[in-house]
Amino acid sequence: MSTNATETHRQKRHPNEVACPTWCARHQDVDAGTPDAFRVHRSRTRRTAGYQVQLQRVDDDQAGRTVVLLDDTELTAKQAQALAEVLQAAAGDAR
């Protein structure tokens, strides 16, 4: 591999080169122009029963992991699905 090919291979993608997810309603670039730059993607906020729920993904040089924010608590998609099932079951039992 030539030196130029090696240099190109090692270059990281800039956070703003990572495409926004389809659900992204807004994003914020943090530390732009520095090696530590990253972009935070957020979905629209949904509000119900006094809670706020939204999706969030943090990208640095590659697409990050998407989490569900329940107020200030981060949940994986699997945790959010499990919580939804438990809430639905409890609500059904309360009838």
In the chain, what are the helix, strand and coil shares in percent, each to the nearest 5? Answer: 30, 30, 40
Specify burial of residue 73 (Cβ count, 10 A radius: 0-12, 13-18, 19+).
Answer: exposed
pTM: 0.74
By three-state DSSP, how is residue 57 classified?
strand
DSSP letter assigned to residue 51:
E
pLDDT tens track, the chain, 95 positions: 444 444 433 345 566 677 899 999 999 999 988 988 999 999 999 999 999 999 999 998 777 899 999 999 999 999 999 999 999 999 999 88
Token readout for 88 is 């639905």
